Amino acid sequence: DILLTQSPSSLSASVGDGVTISCRPSQNISIYFNWYQQKVMKAPKLLIHGAVNLQSGVPSRFSGSGTGTDFTLTITNLQPEDFATYYCQQTYSTPGTFGQGTKVEVK
Amino acid sequence: EVQLVQSGAEVKKPGESLRISCKVSGYRFSRYWIGWVRQMPGKGLEWMGIIFPGDSDTRYGPSFEGHVSMSVDKSSDTTFLQWNNLKESDTAIYYCARHEEFEGVMAFDYWGQGTLVTVSS
């Protein structure tokens, strides 16, 4: 299985801040990579697919970058509704493993 | 509108069997893979497997193969996840999700609301 290492596991931020979350796969996965947001007691929501492509309806303050073995999710101008847990996922090979998650909390 | 609606919460005893369901609407059921994702209490997301309703081709994650089975009923646009011998460690929320292809990259784009399964003696 491909292991995804997310960092940090949690971070504290304020409304209006910018945050970045990193995800590093254990092998080269090209752009077969996605980001999800999960709010408490809710189903995950697809934010970004193919490493850089914003899913329809997702605000432009979310952006993704990277390829191969190093990926980043950036949120600019953090909004109250953005406090949640974020997961990366690879779909280069099955099983389509997820990272362990990054919880974005209110400072 | 694409929707995935899952069956309700279940409480079972160890050793019992269970089948939970995921009924889809708003798109052609047989054309998209459907996946199942486990979330144990307070933990992250785990990819369990995917099934293609068109021909029931199934891929299981190594941690789940042999312990769960996936199936479909094309007449009702429904996917199932089944256990024949539940363990307390199966206590979790289980999500179904549609597996869409975006220019060759697969991702779960629509999700069910989740089914809480509690296994306790």
* CA–CA distance, A70 with A22 (Å, rounded to integer): 7
| Chain A residue nearest residue B98, CA to CA | A46
Interchain CB distance below 8 Å, A44 and B95? yes
| Average pLDDT score over residue span B56-74 | 96
Q: Are A88 and A99 in contact (CB under 8 A)?
A: yes
Q: Does B83 touch chain A (CB under 8 A)?
A: no
Choose the closest CB to A49 out of B45, B105, B112. B105
How far is A28 from chain B, CA to nearest CA, in Å? 15
Task: Give the model's pLDDT for residue B57.
Answer: 97
- What is residue B44's predicted lDDT score, i.e. its pLDDT? 97
Q: What is the pLDDT of residue B83?
A: 97
First to last CA, chain A: 35
- The pLDDT value given to residue B2: 97
d(CA B111, CA A104): 22
Instruction: Provide, rounded to the nearest whole percent, the portion of chain B with pLDDT above 90.
Output: 100
- The average pLDDT across B37-44 equals 97
Confidence of residue A4 (pLDDT cuts 50, 70, 90): very high
The β-bridge partners of A34 are A89
Question: Measured between CB atoms, does A94 come within 8 Å of chain B?
Answer: yes
Q: Band of the pLDDT at A34, cuts 50, 70, 90?
A: very high
Confidence of residue B95 (pLDDT cuts 50, 70, 90): very high
* CB-based contact, B36 to chain A, within 8 Å: no
3-state DSSP helix/strand/coil percent for chain A, to nearest 5? Answer: 5, 50, 50
Mean pLDDT of B61-73: 96
Whole-number Å distance between alpha carbons of B63 and A63: 32
Of B8, B12, B30, B39, give the one whose Cα is nearest residue B98: B30
B1 touching chain A per CB within 8 A: no
What are residue B117's DSSP bridge partners?
B10, B92
Residue A28, φ and ψ in degrees, nearest 5: -65, 125
**Contact A99/B at CB under 8 A:** yes
Q: Which two tokens stand for residue A92?
A: 């280069």
